[in-house]
């Protein structure tokens, strides 16, 4: 999962992009980058690390210009090498930079076609560089000296025909403008914002509405699935549907975990959706265990807080904050290796013992993925004196890989894969476990936007909406995304000499 942003303004955009990336930092903490354009020249800074660490004053001063794009990354199947930080750049045609959130499911076939048939050089293993070269190659095929709006829309149409999977993209074409587009299923989010300055109209494209509103822009709308939007260098917005049969099928896990609660994605309030998740899970608990002996509901911070508060309210049970979170530890779900996740849990959370001592506690989390973190948190609660420890997941069991840009990996590393809920309960060491029902999760999301008929719920049900995912592909990405493979790539990234633009 990554965060992207693009801005065309009437004054310098470097600070606004920096601030927007900071707001999107929860979507990726592995690397960040920014590129701006001024009078036909590009200025780029990208590196591994957090936004606050990568951009120093001297870098910001060099990032000149009134339009630019930015990216925060965490890797899935790719490497953590600095060379794979985004945005990526190709000089032909026009000078194009691109930042991407998602994952191409046919990247290997595209890579072969690009290198063997189109004679394009790829310097990394990133599917984002593949996507950039497909887009650039299609623009080059048109062959104009200067790009026109129709050329860009035609290139995006070709991208939709050739690329499979999930992609929300911001690209900057030098001396032309910023382009944003979204895959025909709208799996990954992309929002347009607008504001009026004394000098004219300004636009922003970003992964979440919170990045739009925090910069003082008004949320205009979501980019539609399959749609391309152009913000030209003069600050004019152009839009065109570029897919043959678009269908909005957004990712449910965005609402469960990734998105900030103060965001609105595809007209769904993340906060209200999580409230409804807690409400529906409380109703299920009432049905399956009406005579429960729960004394207190305690969230596992931060993502589960909203659902836990609503659960407590519906159940008529006390809600208490029982864990203090160290804000300076990265999110364990997006850490590159299981060893780092294990070490970080006790550094990240510390229990308030008086909230646990002698009580039957219901711990609420947004989801259970690998289960290692859940197991350790249950033990923390017991060590703090809890008499019984029950566990609630606001999401259904995560049993299948996610192939659309979320690092839900080899199914053998998923605690619920091939196991019953009782077996998961025993493995995490809880006295009782309850999961959200998938239909209830979909209803909680759909209530925010009744126009959405279906969601990407592949990590829960194994149904892949793009229709091109088979077992050999799942086996391939399972090997590529395993913790062992990531550790090998991390070693290679330290030892390898990279050519960096």
Pairing of strands 41-48, 3-8: unpaired
The verdict on residue 490 lying in a domain is: no
Neighbours of 245 (CB within 10 A): 8
Note whether 184 and 231 are same-domain residues.
Answer: yes
pLDDT at residue number 500: 41
> CATH no. for residue 377?
3.40.50.2020
Q: What is the pLDDT of residue 82?
A: 81
Same domain as 193, residue 300: no
Pair 226, 293 in one domain = no
Residue 92 in any domain: the answer is yes
Residues 200, 301 share a domain: no
What are the CB-based long-range contacts (under 8 Å, 24+) for 146-151? Answer: 146/94, 146/175, 146/176, 147/93, 147/94, 147/173, 147/176, 149/230, 149/232, 149/238
Last residue of a domain, one of 215, 247, 279: 247
Does 466 carry a binding-site annotation? no
Of 162-176, 266-280, 325-339, 412-426, the least confident: 325-339
Instruction: Report the pLDDT value the prediction gives residue 497, as an integer from 0 to 100.
Output: 40
Confirm whether 485 is domain-assigned: no
Q: Has residue 407 got a pLDDT over 50?
A: yes
Task: Please indicate whether residue 99 or residue 480 has the higher confidence score (pLDDT).
Answer: 99
d(CA 399, CA 408): 9
358 belongs to a structural domain:
yes
- CATH number of the domain that residue 41 is part of: 3.60.20.10
β pairing state of 67-73 and 3-8: antiparallel
Residue 236 lies in a domain: yes
Q: Which of the residues 2, 242, 425, 459 is marked catalytic? A: 2
User: Could you give phi then psi for residue 107, rounded to 5 degrees?
Assistant: -60, -40
Residue 127 pLDDT > 80, yes or no? yes
Same domain, 29 and 126: yes
Q: Annotated binding residue at 291?
A: no
Give the pair of three-digit tokens for residue 21. Answer: 């990336």
What is the number of domains present in the chain?
2
Q: Is 425 a catalytic residue?
A: no
pLDDT at 23 over 60: yes
Q: Are residues 92 and 226 in the same domain?
A: yes
- Among 79-83, 277-281, 448-452, the minimum mean pLDDT is found in 79-83
Q: In angstroms, rounded to a whole number, what is the distance separating the alpha carbons of residues 68 and 289?
A: 54
How far is the C-alpha of 160 from the C-alpha of 359, rounded, in Å? 55
Is 366 annotated in a binding site? The answer is: yes
- Dihedral (C-alpha) 162, 166, 168, 169: value to the nearest 10 degrees? -40
Same domain, 153 and 202: yes
C-alpha of 423 from chain center: 30
Q: What is the pLDDT of residue 128?
A: 96
Same-domain check for residues 95 and 33: yes
Residue 480 is predicted with a pLDDT of 72
State which residues form the domain around 79.
Answer: 3-247
- Percentage of the chain modeled with pLDDT above 90: 85
- pLDDT of 482 strictly over 80: no
Please name the residues in contact with 88: beta carbons below 8 A apart, sequence gap of 6 or more.
97, 98, 99, 124, 126, 128, 129, 132, 501
Q: Is residue 97 part of a domain?
A: yes
Query: For residue 477, is it within any domain?
Result: no
d(CA 366, CA 395) in angstroms, rounded, equals 6
- Give the mean pLDDT of 164-174: 97
On whether both 173 and 49 belong to a single domain, the answer is yes
Q: Give the per-residue pLDDT at 408.
A: 83
> Has residue 83 been placed in a domain?
yes
Q: What is the pLDDT confidence band of residue 499, given thresholds at 50, 70 and 90?
A: very low
What does the H/E/C string look like for 360-377?
EEEEEECCCCCCHHHHHH
| Same domain as 34, residue 135 | yes
Residues 241 and 276 occupy one common structural domain: no
Query: What predicted TM-score, i.e. pTM, was given to this entire model?
Result: 0.92
> Is there a single domain that holds both residue 168 and residue 208?
yes
**For residue range 351-386, what is the model confidence (pLDDT) as tens digits?**
999 999 999 999 999 999 999 999 999 999 999 999
What number is the average pLDDT over the span 165-186?
A: 98
Average per-residue pLDDT in the chain?
Answer: 92
The model's pLDDT over 234-275, given as tens digits with 9 standing for 90+, comes to: 999 999 999 999 999 999 999 999 999 999 999 999 999 999
Is residue 332's pLDDT more than 60? no
């Amino acid at each position: 999962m990554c965060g992207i942003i693009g801005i065309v303004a009437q004054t310098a955009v470097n600070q606004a992009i920096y601030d927007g990336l900071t707001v999107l930092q929860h979507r990726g903490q592995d690397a960040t980058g920014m590129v701006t354009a001024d009078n036909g020249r590009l200025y780029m800074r990208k590196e591994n690390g957090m936004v606050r660490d990568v951009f120093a004053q001297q870098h910001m001063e060099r990032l000149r210009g009134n339009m630019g794009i930015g990216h925060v990354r965490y890797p899935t199947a790719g490497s953590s090498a600095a060379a794979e930080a985004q945005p990526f750049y190709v000089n032909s045609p026009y000078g194009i930079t691109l930042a991407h959130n998602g994952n191409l499911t046919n990247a290997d076939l595209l890579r072969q076609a690009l290198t063997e048939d189109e004679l394009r050089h790829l310097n990394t293993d990133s599917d984002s560089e593949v996507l950039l070269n497909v887009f650039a190659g299609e623009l080059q095929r048109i062959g104009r000296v200067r790009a026109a709006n129709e050329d860009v829309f035609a290139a995006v149409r070709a991208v939709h025909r050739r690329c499979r999977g999930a992609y929300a993209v911001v690209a900057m074409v030098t001396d032309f403008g910023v382009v944003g587009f979204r895959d025909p299923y709208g799996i990954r989010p992309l929002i347009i914002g607008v504001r009026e300055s004394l000098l004219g109209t300004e636009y922003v494209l970003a992964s979440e509405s919170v990045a739009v509103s925090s910069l003082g822009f008004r949320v205009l709308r979501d980019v539609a699935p399959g749609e391309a939007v152009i913000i030209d260098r003069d600050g004019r917005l152009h839009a065109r549907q570029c897919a043959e049969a678009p269908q909005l099928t957004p990712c449910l896990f965005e609402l469960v975990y990734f998105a900030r609660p103060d965001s609105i994605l595809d007209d769904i309030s993340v906060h209200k959706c999580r409230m409804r998740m807690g409400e529906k899970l409380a109703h299920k608990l009432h049905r399956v265990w009406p005579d429960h002996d729960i004394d207190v509901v305690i969230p596992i911070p931060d993502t589960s807080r909203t659902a836990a508060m609503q659960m407590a309210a519906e159940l008529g049970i006390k809600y208490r904050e029982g864990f203090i979170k160290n804000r300076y530890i990265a999110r364990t779900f997006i850490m590159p290796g299981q060893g780092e996740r294990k070490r970080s849990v006790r550094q990240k959370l510390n229990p308030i013992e008086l909230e646990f001592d002698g009580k039957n506690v219901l711990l609420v989390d947004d989801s259970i993925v690998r289960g290692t973190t859940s197991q350790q948190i249950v033990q923390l609660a017991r060590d703090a004196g809890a008499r019984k420890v029950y566990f609630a997941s606001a999401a259904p069991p995560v049993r299948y890989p996610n192939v659309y840009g979320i690092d839900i990996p080899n199914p053998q590393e998923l605690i619920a894969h091939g196991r019953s809920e009782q077996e998961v309960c025993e493995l995490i060491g809880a006295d009782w476990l309850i999961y959200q029902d998938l239909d209830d999760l979909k209803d909680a999301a759909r209530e925010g936007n009744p126009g959405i008929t279906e969601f990407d719920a592949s990590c829960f049900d194994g149904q892949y909406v793009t229709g091109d995912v088979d077992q050999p592909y799942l086996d391939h990405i399972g090997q590529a995304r395993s913790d062992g493979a990531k550790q090998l790539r991390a070693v290679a990234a330290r030892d390898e000499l990279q050519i960096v633009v």
